[in-house]
Structures are given as structure tokens and as C-alpha cells.
Structure 1
Amino acid sequence: MGDKTGAHPGAAGRAATADHPRSVRNVVLVGHSGSGKTTLVEALALTAGVVNRAGRVEDGGTVSDYDEIEHRQQRSIQLSLVPVEWNGIKINLLDTPGYADFVGELRAGLRAADAALFVVSAAEGAEGITGPTRMVWDECAAVGMPRAIVFTHLEAARSDFDAMTRGCAEAFGGDDPDAVLPLYLPQYGEPGADGHAPVTGLIGLLSRRIFDYASGTREENDPSTEQAPGIEESRNRLIEGIIAESEDETLMDRYLGGEDIDYKTLVDDLERAVARGTFHPVLAAAPAADGARQGLGTVELLDLVTGGFPTPLERETPAVTTPEGTPRPALTCDPQGPLAAEVVKTASDPYVGRISLVRVFSGTLRPDETVHVSGHGLADRGHEDHDVDERVGALSAPFGKQQRILSECIAGDLACVAKLSRAETGDTLSAKDDPLLMEAWSMPDPLLPLAIEAHSKPDEDKLSHGLARLVAEDPTMCLEQNQDTHQVVLWCLGETHASVALERLRNRYGVQVDVVPHRVALRETFGASAAGRGRHVKQSGGHGQFAICEIEVEPLPGGSGVEFVDKVVGGAVPRQFIPSVEKGVRAQAARGIAAGNPLVDVRVTLLDGKAHSVDSSDAAFQTAGALALREAAADVPIHVLEPVVEVRVLVGDAFVGTVMSDLSGRRGRVVGTEQSPDGRTLVRADVPELEIGRYAVDLRALSHGTGRFSRTYARHEPMPAQLATKLRQEAEKEG
């Protein structure tokens, strides 16, 4: 693999098609932001003949022309698909963002793919393999994704192939450093003025062949006498690493006994080890030099993908049920089986409308047929559940800014589907007479709140529609209409995620919004028992208003709400007006009595009162009840209650002290720590919600991008007196 010379690239301008799952490879490119994933996709597309030397397709665009915001941000912010063809195999290349704010796009790519190219920048040096790079590796490991490692930026002065390989073996090999070994060694040219020797070719260890790119054309040669000893040493270690994963238990003994294991056996065992995720071959790649048709290592990568990566037939299909939850037998990747496809990405095109990127796991999807759309269970994030029939529009494959029409999409393949107006990311498409629901993949929790308001009346009219379309595209975003603070809140994964959301609202949906301070749901309660008298007596001609009531208020334990007790005797307050008093008390409690926050955890007892046979009314006693509650609050301390959340922070051991100190500075109480087996620690703490509004951003800085946290509402607790006083003063100024 990587040693074939008869590569047959797909012709530019022709949409790659597949007639059987075995002729499909779904490959996701993953890696930290800046590692060179998109550049590598373009280099592979050039080698496969999808684009010309300038990186342009026939319509004048490039394979990465997908979102105008990406060009302004100078980074990938969403999953994109580039299909190519190599050696008669259709390869769906899925380019993912590497920035932590877009981990949802990464997980979508992992769902759609069967193997991954894990891209690591050699410019960062071996020490750059930790932190965010390790987090992306863990994302792949969590779903059992087979991976090969690709080094980029080998032209950097500090790049060191051997050191990078050792670093990856230490970081990713676990207990077996031989699980990460190179398939090729770099061949170096003459050192330049800076002393750095450029990589001019690759040395195939399995084939013992040299692939020289120095002339701009890939040339195959025999190794020199000086190269042979180094090749044999690395080759023997590679073969031992492959054989150690072989299902043939006699193979190692035969090899150690001097038998020359044939090339096909080694390649077959390599493919099985990669598919199981127990072996991760290392390769190197670089864009094509000026005038060259093929970038260094791109042929070898394409050959590895077609000859050494698993087919869709080797992937276990996600579990399925009926929409009602009844388990169904496991599906296989069979084009003749029942239809089961999943929307892994939703995007909007200004001319075509909504476009859904779909992975077909079973059956065959055809244009103009009616399918059943089953919902995804993300209603708590503003994504409604679906259980409807929809007509499929055209099927296509992306090609720059154009979409190339497909006649069908078989099991194991990917396609873009137009005009699915109801389907959202994570939804299942199945036959309308046999509806199915696929097991959902894990979505990260958005933990950064962004409170917004419409900028003007025209924007207000368009806001709800724009927000609905925004969250339909991005299941990692949560839309909250907060009933306590009356704010519209977009929960995002980070600042960049939030800025992209605002830009899409403004430029794509024509909605201008203003960002306002996010408010948390505060409460108030009595600090001691108190009595109050509400007197509402007015006479202005005709029927007057007369109502007097006397109440007693006492605090209750947290979570008790507002209790109302009637202890009136002797008919001092007529029975028909007692509900009126309660209604007035509860209305005043909802409005608050100190800083405009709802009153909770009190018992209000109606003790006595007076009524007038003519002037008393429902409205009068409602007013009296409210006045009585306000009077009772005037002579006792009123506690402002703030929400406290249980925070669980998973962070590397080196950052535990920093994180705990930071939590304490946020008025948090650390309640425990738990050691994880992977060199990380789980810190549990109770923290006021007021103090962690930006914790999603701050934790990333504290832990060098490696920390994660979750939060769960625990309870409301009294706020410190000085802080409560400050909030009251601010409320009075605003009022």
C-alpha cells in the first residue's frame, strides 16, 4: 500500500459513484486546529484528479468553498465532504474543524466515517502532541474509530519525523508503543542554508522501495546500499508490530524462524489491525510543489485508504428501534436491506435552500421517493422531535460550489439531499411503511450562554424564524426562552461558536441582534417571621373599594415554594374573597418584594380582615393581599437566593491545583475529587451560577484547552449580604 504505481485517479469534473459498499471508503480527517487538514484534503483531491494544479474545479471554485464565514475566520468551522475516486474506489473525504468550539462537527464526521486520518503538524514538535491534540484523539477512541497518523508541515525547521513518531507512540500507543509505527520513512535532500534538510521522498518499508518526489513527479527507485541497513531495521520492527496483531498465531513464530512473510499477508493483517483500532500506521504528506501534479505522500495515503482502510461492510451499524422505542434486529450494510439513513449535517444554501448531508447505513436512497423522518430527542435544546413523511429531493455530491447529481445512494455511501424541510441533524430517514429510529450519537453540552435581543422591530419579526433555522443546522446549540428572566438565550460551546452564530443570523438570515448581559434566575425569601396588614380603602363616588387583611409570613425550607393557609374565623373575610387574597399574595410574590425577584419558600397565613357589604370586591382583596405581603417584608431581612450548580471538572493532574484555586475564587466549595486512570482528575464543586457564566472559556485557558466540565442545577442559596445589596441598588437604578 502506497507502493502501487498503477494508480487510476478519478477524472476531474465527474462525480464519483459506488455500486457496492466494498467500493466505498468513508474517511474523516481529524486533528487540532492548524494541523493542515483542509490543505491535505485539497492535496489529495489534486492527486486524485478532482481539481487542477491551482486547486480549482471546473466552476472556478475550490473544494473548500463551502462557507463564506470560514474564509473570514481563516479556519474550518463545519464538516465538509469532498468525494474523490482512486483505483476504482470512491473515497468520501470528510474535513472536520479542529477548534474545540466545533467538536459537534467533529462528532458528526466520526459518525459518518469508517476510519480516520489523524493529522498532526510536525511544526509543533513532539511536545505539541499533548493538550488539544490528545483531546481529539480521545474523541476518536471513544467511538472506536480506526486511525492512521499523518504528519504535515515537514518543511518546518523544527520538524523531526523520528521524534514525532516517538511522541505519538507515547501519547497514543497506550501500553504498546509498537501500536504506532511508520509505514514509510522520509527521504531527505541536501540541507539548506538554515541547516534543515527538506523531505524529498518516502521510503516504503514493506516494499523496500524509494518514492522520490524531488523532480516534481513521483519516481520509484531501489534503495541505495547506504539506505538498506536502516530500512531493514525499521522494516523488521514494523513487521513485528503488524504480526503481533495478526489472527494467525503461527505467523510470529514463522517470521522469527526466518520465513519471509509475503507482502499480501502483511497488508491483509495490517488492514485488520487498523480496522480493529489496535494499530495506527504513521505516514507523511505535503502539498504539491510548484509545477507538480502530486504532493509528497498523497499517492501513498490514497493507496492506504483504498487498500488498508475498512469498508462500510466492516462497520457495525448503529442500533435501531421503531419511533416508539421497540427494538429492531440489527441492520447490516446491505443495499437491498431496509432503508436506514441518518442526517449528519444540515446546511442552508441561498439558492437551493436546506441541504442535508446523509449517510446511508442500510438500503438504498433514491431521489423523489417519500421517506419517514424520525426525530432525535433533542427537544430540550430547541430541536423538535420529528415523526413525519417527507419527499426526498435531488441527490448530489459536492464539487466545489456545485452539486453533481447522483441517481442513488447505496448503503455505506454519503450524499447531499435537497429539500428535506423538516429533517434536522441527527434525524433518521427510513421507509415510510417501515419507520426506524437510529441510536443517537453523543452531542456535547453547550455551556456558554449568549443572551440576545432583536435590534429593531423588523428584526423582532424575523428573529424566531432565524433562530429556528440556526438551531436546525447545529444540534450543539441550545435555544432557551427563559421563563424566569424573560431572555432569549443561545447556549454555545465557546466564544467563536457564539460569534459564528451571530454572523449567520446577520448575514444568512438577515436578523440583526444585540448581545445583552445574561441574567440568572434569582429568588427572594424572608429571613424571619413577620406580620403584615393590607388596607385598601378608597371612595370616589359610586361603589368604592374596601378590603383589609392581616397575614403572617414565616420562612420555609428551600424548595417549598409559596404556601397559603387560611385561618380566618368568624367570617371576618368572606369565603368568596379568601381566594382573592391568595391570588394577590401570589401575584406579589411572583413580582418580588426587594429586588424584583420571585419570592419563594414562605408560608403566608391569612389570620383576619374586614369587608364591606357593598364596596368589597375580588380586585380589592387582591390588592390588599399584595399590600399585606409588602408590609410584612418591610421590617425583616429579605434574603436574595442565587442558583448554585454542581460543577464536575475533568482536568489533567498538572492543572488540578489551578482549577481548584480558581473555583474557590468563584465562591465555590470543592466537595471532592476522583482520580481517573488516564492521568486526569475529576473535581466536584458547588459554585454559584453567577460566577461561572464564562467558565467554558476560562477553563479552556486555565487548562491549555484540555479541561472539560459539566454543570447541574443543585439548589438556591442565600447570596452574601454585600452582593445582595449591590444587586438591589442596581435594580433600583434600572427601575
Structure 2
Amino acid sequence: VHEGGVKDEKILEPPAEMAGEMEAAASRMMDAAAEGDDELMMKYLEGEKLTEEEVIHGLEVGVASGKVVPVLCGSAATGAGVTLLLDRIVGAIPSPAEKPKRSGEEEIAADPNAPFLGFVFKTTADPYVGKINYLRVMQGTLTPELAVKNARTGDSERMGTVFFPRGKEQLPTTKVIAGDICAVAKLQHTRTGDTLCDAKNVRALAPIEFPEPIYRIAIVPKTKADEDKLGQAVARIVDEDPTFRHTRNVESAQDIIEGMGDIHLDVAIEKLREKFGVNVDTAEAQIPYRETLMKPAQAQGKYKKQTGGRGQYGDCWIEVEPLPRGGGFEFGERIVGGAIPKNYIPAIEKGVREVMEKGLVSGHPVVDVKVVVYDGSYHEVDSSEQAFKMAGALAFRAAAEKAGVTILEPILDVEVTVPEEFTGDVMGDLNTRRGRPVGMEMTGPGVQTIKAQVPMATMAKYALDLRSITKGRGRFRAQFSHYEEMPMNEQQALIQEYERRRQAESEG
């Protein structure tokens, strides 16, 4: 029994009533240690007791093979058990030096006299000091004012203040030799995963592979002051955490943050408030739906206005047709006989594009459409670019009404990796999200990977739901695949929500 903290830890005798449990646990540990080595197994089966050194050796072999996973107890609050943890790391965990060399790897000797080579493994943003990079010196010696090169960007950096981090303390130093970890302030072009090296001996260490974000929400600054500080504060957090991302969705006018789950983003939002003084509210990230037309159609758009002076007159006939998914927008003209002067054609296209950008039935952009102007008329005095822009907009709305409008939703390629016993529950959950399974394979002992195509709209909180379904043992990744037509009942719900929102805005 360990009691107290790191500095005043006491090891006490366990209660007498736990003797049976301790004996059983010790027996299980002996079993695990013996399984790691044939000689130990033979000795154990012959009834001989293993020595402490033999047990440690057997556990080390088991840990190295992945058959044994040490579990220790401790307290982060008091530090109880920390010394035991450190002892076990040294005594029962294989040394990194024992790891077999992989093909293509180069051995780096921790030589303080070799050309400098350092790896940046962490970045923090201090509101007063600025960016701080933490690095391990792999070779050579690091000193303040040392000029180095960033192997990723090719940029030169000059070391500023160099210090050893000790909790909240920063202990300045004039020299860091190979094998040591230190921190450097105010490097301009360096981020986590970068290699810093001698300019005459450029080498790049393998970068850290970070997982793709799986959870996203929108953040809204509470005040104008918060809005002014938001961009810089979020950029600082992105510097600190490569698994955290921030984008500005121009279409929805939302600031989107992405991370590895709800707790990850909660911590980032708390950091915005505590560290940078930026307060935000949260909202669901809007789904980037699209609209398109269902069939070809023709329509006229005529804009005519007389106010006493010079009037406004624009008249055009257009035909529209849907394009294949991903076809974008095509615009052309087949005017003959000068029915519409050529200089008014761009104005018609502008009117069409403005309607497409605003959407027709749900407020989302129209895509995959071809528009051709084939007839019309004009007035020598009253026609203008503005009049033909209005005519183009009217014509496109009229043609779209005849052609019919449908809503497209983004579909994601999703891969879910779970222990085999949760496969049925995960498949059932994906079905409730309108997911279509496209494959399933064993990707490890007792591990299944399910591949499916799922609408983005149903995946907003999937990271939380998967954690609940699999008791935290499942993981997934998702990436955009394509757009496809939304089920009609889902379209109607989206259109009704859009109409309610428009009505609320018009009422004030």
C-alpha cells in the first residue's frame, strides 16, 4: 500500500484481510511472467518458485510481445504510486534501444560533438511570451543564438532563449547536449513534428502522424471584443495542437473547430476563455447541402419598368438542364440575328449566378446545371446591364420551377474499427443513420473494420455515440465522398425549416 506523495511516500503493509487477494494476484503475475519465456515456463510447471529477477525478465518479454499489459494504481493529485510507476518503467518495460531496426531506418548516435539535430515534439502558446517549442536534442549541442535550418520548410531559425521546463518553472541554460529535452521561445517557422538541424547537414526525422479530427462544432464570439481576438487566439491553439483545426465557412458564415471529440473541444474552448480572454457560444456546424435541377426546361425572364424618365427593359429566354454530379456550372448562348446585344450576355449570366448562390428552396447553392441563352429582345434606350441581370434572374427562377428542384446532401466514406463483439450494434446504429455498408474485414485479432457510406447530416455526434456503444473501444475515420439526392421526407423537413427561419427573420 502506497501512501502520501512523491516526496513523503510511505509503503505500508497491506491489511490482513487482503492476503488471499494478494496471493491470487501474485499467482496470476507469475503465470504471465512464465508465459513469456520457455525456460521460465518449464521451471514454473515443475513447481519451482520464480525469483524476482526472473519474474521481471518474463514480464519484460511479455510486454515487448504485447501479451502483457501492466496496470498500476496511483494518484495524480497526491503523487502516490508515481515512484512505483517509474521503477516499473525502468525495471519491467523494454528499453527503446531494444526495438529491432526497421528497413530504411538510420541509427543516430547521441553524440554531443556531432552536427546539431533536434526534433520538435510539442508546442505551447503563452499569452505573454508567445510560442514555445519543446524539442529533444538527438545529436550535437544546442546553445542560445545557434543558427539552424528547418528541414520541412527550408527556413533558417536562430535559437532565442533556451530553458529546461520544470513544471511551471523555466530554468535558463546555456547548453543542451544530445539526449536532453529543452524548450525554445519565439521560433518563427517551426511547429510540432519539425526537424531542426545544422544548415550544412540537413536531415529530416520521421514526422509524427496525427489522426484526422472526428468531431466538429461551430463557435460564435459573444461580443465584438471577443470577435476581434478570436482569430489570433484560435491560431495559437492550432499551433499548440496539430489535431485541432479551425476553418471559416464562408457559405454559412460560421467559425468551425474540429478535434478528436467533445472533451477535446471543451478543453480548447476553456483555453480560449482562460488563456486568451475570448468567450464563445457553441452551435451545430451547418451541413453544406446543395440544390440542383431535375430535368431540362425553358423559360422567359422579362424585366420592364417605367418610371417617367428612362425606363428599364431586359428580356431573355433560357434553357436549363442538369449536369452529372460534380459537373459544376456551364453557361452559353445561341443568340442569332442580334436579338440581344453581346455586351448584355455577361449581365444575364451574373443574374443567374446570383440566384444560384442564394438557392431556390432551402437557401443552399445550386450546382451541376447548364444554362443557355437562346433568344430575347432589347430596347435601344431602356435596356441596360442591370435590366438584363434582373431578366436573367427571373428567367432562371421560372425555368427552375418548371424543371423541378431537388436537394443534394454530402455523403461520407466511413471506416469504423471495433472489437468483434460490438459489430452487430455498430451495424445497427449505422443503419439508423441511413448508412449503406460497403464492406467488412478482420483487421486484427478479434477486431472488425466496417466500411460504409453515411450522410454527413447524421454523423454530427457519431464520435460520442460510438464511444457509448463500444465502451470507448471503437474508433472511426470519415472523409467526403460525393453528393447524392436526399430522401424526399428529409428534403421537406429541410425546406420547412428554411421557411420558418425566413419568416422569423422577416418578422424581426
Q: Which residue does the alignment assign to 1:698?
A: 465
1:201-600 paired onto structure 2 within 5 Å: 238=33, 241-242=36-37, 273=61, 298=83, 302=86, 305-306=89-90, 331-375=108-152, 386-540=153-307, 542-600=309-367
**Aligned partner letter, 2:140:** G
CA offsets, 1:593-647, max 9 Å, x none? 2221111122212120112223322232222111110111223431011111121
- Total equivalences in the alignment: 497
Q: Which residue does the alignment assign to 2:8?
A: 53
Q: Which residue does the alignment assign to 1:108?
A: none
Instruction: Name the SS of the counterpart of 1:676 in structure 2.
Output: strand
CA offsets, 1:481-500, max 9 Å, x none? 22433321001111111111
Per-residue deviation at 1:680? 1.6
1:719 paired with 2:486, answer yes
Per-residue deviation at 1:689? 0.7
On the 8 A contact 1:556/1:602 being kept in 2, the answer is yes
RMSD of aligned Cα (Å): 4.0
On the 8 A contact 2:123/2:133 being kept in 1, the answer is yes
Per-residue deviation at 1:464? 0.7
On the 8 A contact 1:535/1:549 being kept in 2, the answer is yes
Instruction: Name the SS of the counterpart of 2:444 in structure 1.
Output: coil
Q: Which whole-Å CA distance do the structure 2 matches of 1:418 and 1:697 have between them?
A: 37
CA offsets, 1:626-672, max 9 Å, x none? 11101112234310111111211111221111111111111122222
Q: Which whole-Å CA distance do the structure 1 matches of 2:296 and 2:32 have between them?
A: 80
Q: Which residue does the alignment assign to 1:682?
A: 449
TM-score normalized by the length of structure 1: 0.60
Match of 1:658 among 408, 413, 425: 425
Q: Which whole-Å CA distance do the structure 1 matches of 2:22 and 2:105 have between them?
A: 54
TM-score normalized by the length of structure 2: 0.84
Q: Which whole-Å CA distance do the structure 2 matches of 1:606 and 1:392 have between them?
A: 63
Pair 1:364–1:706, CA change in 2 (3 A): same
Q: Which whole-Å CA distance do the structure 2 matches of 1:597 and 1:242 have between them?
A: 65
CA offsets, 1:462-507, max 9 Å, x none? 1110110011111111212224333210011111111111111111
Q: Which whole-Å CA distance do the structure 2 matches of 1:237 and 1:709 have between them?
A: 32
Q: Which whole-Å CA distance do the structure 2 matches of 1:475 and 1:464 have between them?
A: 17
Identity of aligned residues (%): 37
Pair 1:408–1:568, CA change in 2 (3 A): same
Instruction: Name the SS of the counterpart of 2:269 in structure 1.
Output: helix
Per-residue deviation at 1:420? 2.8
Pair 1:296–1:721, CA change in 2 (3 A): closer
List alignment gaps of at least 5 residues for structure 1. 1-38, 47-51, 56-153, 156-186, 206-229, 246-251, 320-326, 376-385
Pair 1:612–1:451, CA change in 2 (3 A): same
Q: Which whole-Å CA distance do the structure 2 matches of 1:283 and 1:581 have between them?
A: 71
Q: Which whole-Å CA distance do the structure 1 matches of 2:143 and 2:55 have between them?
A: 36
Q: Which whole-Å CA distance do the structure 1 matches of 2:449 and 2:30 have between them?
A: 42
1:190 paired with 2:145, answer no
Q: Which residue does the alignment assign to 1:74?
A: none
On the 8 A contact 1:551/1:608 being kept in 2, the answer is yes
Instruction: Name the SS of the counterpart of 1:465 in structure 2.
Output: helix
Pair 1:466–1:198, CA change in 2 (3 A): farther
On the 8 A contact 2:127/2:276 being kept in 1, the answer is no
Pair 1:640–1:430, CA change in 2 (3 A): same
List alignment gaps of at least 5 residues for structure 2. 503-508
Q: Which whole-Å CA distance do the structure 2 matches of 1:591 and 1:534 have between them?
A: 18
On the 8 A contact 2:32/2:58 being kept in 1, the answer is no
On the 8 A contact 1:471/1:478 being kept in 2, the answer is yes
